[in-house]
Amino acid sequence: MIFPPSIQRWLPVMLPILAVSWWCAKAISITTSPWIDSSSTITTSPLDFNDTFDPNVTEYWFDTVVDHFNFRPTPEPTFPLRYLVNDQYYHNASSPVLFYAGNEADIFQFVNNSGFLWEAAENFQGMVVFAEHRYYGKSFPFGSPENALSPKNISYLSVEQAMADFNLLQGHIRDKWNMSRDAAFVVAGGSYGGNLALWLRLKNPNLWAGAIASSATPLKHLLRETNAFNRIVADVYRNVSHTCPDLIRQGWQELYTNVKTKHGRQRIQYEMKLCHVPERRNPRDIADEIHGWVSGALETMVQYGYPYPTNFFAPVPGYPFKLACKNMLQEQSALGALRAAAQVFYNYTGQAGDCFDWVASAAEAEENDLLVKTRKTLESTRYWNRLGQIERGVLSTHLEDLTGTAWGYQCCTEAYQPMPTNGITDFELPYQPNETEYFERCKQRWEGVVPRPTWEETMFLSDNIQAGSNIFLTSGQLDPWRAAGIQSVPRGSPDSIIVRIIENGAHHLDLRHSHPMDPPSVVEVRKEEMTAMEKWIIRWRNLYPSSIVHASEQRGQIVGQRYKPDQENAKTRISTIL
């Protein structure tokens, strides 16, 4: 997926729900900061940024139905949906399948960040399947992304359609590999993919033996009604030092004050080491953009604040927010503190050069007509950061950003989640989303489409999941998306609904490969997940002994009773892969 540099810079701001990395530039050199206190476990060496994981997958395509909910075929009734398979641990026709329900990006994004499924596959001698979500990656109906993402043709992008794809795909895989009925499909996912995993198991326990739903966000009303998301971000920094949230708020104040005068803008440029601060634009817009640039970094360092160095949006150290906060404390001014924090995200390996050329890129984008077009649709750019997800959809009139377009549409339909902030218990600028305005913009962009705020929680039960079973829900303590997660076992749930908060865990940390620097909490949770999956697999075999003949078995050679779970091994065979 290609993003122009100017767009890449905005991605953290614009795509908060995104699960994974957009660019994977390798580190060239690493400077270890003097501010990392030697007592902490943060260590960084160039080797840590190596991505040595080889998923060893094969790409397949499955013809799915464009509209599952209308028996009258669309002019092109089907389209190819991509899925990836790793069968290196797959044993025989009764072996389980670890199925990742793809979310809003190219499916390889999730492959690269969900190594735990390979560990589970090895443990259970299972198959790994990663299914791409329709309208993302390479899975577009109507022949091309350009055709698919037009306001009319995008109509078939919905949670329900995507779930139906995965249900049908399971049948297709069972047939293709001649699987026995007693082969259990465990569905897993992170973030929106976690929602899909949860909902697939709730809706179709006849198909899915159980669900690992990591950092799922089913309780969207909590995002809309409270500042819980941004409060978690602020708490994470506050827990490093009480001073950091204050410095950030003070920084915004200095930014918005200084931007009004020529002298002030020079000060901003100097203190924040910006290559350039444009003169001809509305000062308020400039401040908004600088704010968005820093704020996006601050939030992303928390959401993806993994215990070891990673390279999602940019190369960052383990627990990058700790270093950011510590660096802020060394600065003489609040503007300097903002720069010191941003520096960890945008310049950890010295990649920025002598000054941040962000402003130059904005000017560049202006020349390309990219940002300007967006601007024209807005009364003010004040909402740039807030309505980021829609903003991307608007930006993407140019189809530079296919993922942003598709996700922008989902934010205008089911995933309606604008977040208010107060600047007191969070460190953001106070903001109250304006529903009328938001709806109006959706209507314009998608030709009449407006969100249905309560639809998703009504149709998919919100946290009223007591009637479900075999569900493992996790949230990271550090992850702001925890705000919309189910954080405790709903009253009246069976024992097989398990909820864990992972201490010192960021966004779906548990789905990542085991790592020597993992906190004990996630090591423990992965063990529990392994045990839970094993129970689900056994339960499945009891429910569907292979004497019940699956259609495919009549053609094939399959006999059942092949998977023999091994309680002891299941616990000990979790491999550690660096």
Ligand X SMILES: *[C@@H]1O[C@H](CO)[C@@H](O)[C@H](O)[C@H]1NC(C)=O
Q: Which is nearer to ligand X, 269 or 493 (CB)?
A: 269
Query: How many other β-carbons are positioned within 10 Å of the β-carbon of residue 375?
Result: 17
CA 109 to chain centre: 10
**Active-site residue identified among 291, 507, 513, 550:** 507
Q: What is the largest CA-CA distance in the chain?
A: 81
What whole-number distance in Å separates Cα of residue 534 and Cα of residue 516?
A: 24
CB within 8 A of 47, min separation 6: which ones?
Answer: none
Determine whether 479 is an active site residue: yes
Q: 385 and 291 in contact (C-beta within 8 Å)?
A: yes
Phi, psi at residue 473, to the nearest 5°? -105, 130
Q: Which is nearer to ligand X, 203 or 513 (CB)?
A: 513
Determine whether 33 is an active site residue: no
Phi, psi at residue 270, to the nearest 5°? -70, -50
**At what angle are helices 358-367 and 5-14 packed, to 10 degrees?**
110
Alpha-carbon separation of residue 288 from 13, 235, 396, 446, 514 (angstroms): 12, 23, 20, 26, 39
Q: Which is nearer to ligand X, 147 or 250 (CB)?
A: 147
Shortest separation between residue 148's beta carbon and ligand X, angstroms: 7
Q: 481 and 303 in contact (C-beta within 8 Å)?
A: yes
Shortest separation between residue 457's beta carbon and ligand X, angstroms: 24
- DSSP 8-state assignment for residue 73: P
Shortest separation between residue 94's beta carbon and ligand X, angstroms: 6
Shortest separation between residue 79's beta carbon and ligand X, angstroms: 9
Q: Which is nearer to ligand X, 173 or 202 (CB)?
A: 173
**Active-site residue identified among 182, 285, 463, 479:** 479
N-to-C CA span, the chain: 26
Q: Which is nearer to ligand X, 467 or 548 (CB)?
A: 548
Q: Which is nearer to ligand X, 296 or 468 (CB)?
A: 296
Shortest separation between residue 350's beta carbon and ligand X, angstroms: 3
458 in the Ramachandran plot: left (φ > 0), alpha (ψ -120 to 50) or beta?
alpha
What whole-number distance in Å separates Cα of residue 371 and Cα of residue 364?
A: 9
Query: How many other β-carbons are positioned within 10 Å of the β-carbon of residue 232?
Result: 21
Q: How many residues does the chain have?
A: 578
Q: Would you call 198 helix, strand, or coil by DSSP? A: helix
Q: Which is nearer to ligand X, 201 or 326 (CB)?
A: 326
Determine whether 172 is an active site residue: no
What whole-number distance in Å separates Cα of residue 515 and Cα of residue 513?
A: 6
Interacting residues toward ligand X by CB under 6 A = 21, 24, 31, 47, 50-52, 54, 56, 75-76, 87-88, 91-92, 94, 106, 108-109, 112, 125, 142-143, 147, 150, 153, 177-178, 232, 235-236, 239, 273, 343, 347, 350, 352, 354-356, 434, 436-437, 477-478, 555-557, 562-564
Shortest separation between residue 555's beta carbon and ligand X, angstroms: 5
**Active-site residue identified among 191, 214, 469, 493:** 191
Q: Which is nearer to ligand X, 64 or 153 (CB)?
A: 153
Please give the structure tokens belonging to residue 453. 């705020």
What whole-number distance in Å separates Cα of residue 555 and Cα of residue 550?
A: 10
Q: 417 and 220 in contact (C-beta within 8 Å)?
A: yes
Helix H or strand E encompassing 424: none
CB within 8 A of 54, min separation 6: which ones?
Answer: none
Please give the structure tokens belonging to residue 79. 């389209």
Shortest separation between residue 257's beta carbon and ligand X, angstroms: 23
Shortest separation between residue 552's beta carbon and ligand X, angstroms: 7
Q: Which is nearer to ligand X, 36 or 471 (CB)?
A: 36
Q: 76 and 107 in contact (C-beta within 8 Å)?
A: no
Q: 267 and 353 in contact (C-beta within 8 Å)?
A: no
Q: Which is nearer to ligand X, 426 or 456 (CB)?
A: 426
CB within 8 A of 240, min separation 6: which ones?
Answer: 321, 322, 325, 326
Shortest separation between residue 470's beta carbon and ligand X, angstroms: 21
Shortest separation between residue 29's beta carbon and ligand X, angstroms: 9
Which residues sit opposite 472 in a β-bridge? 212, 498
Catalytic center residues: 191, 479, 507
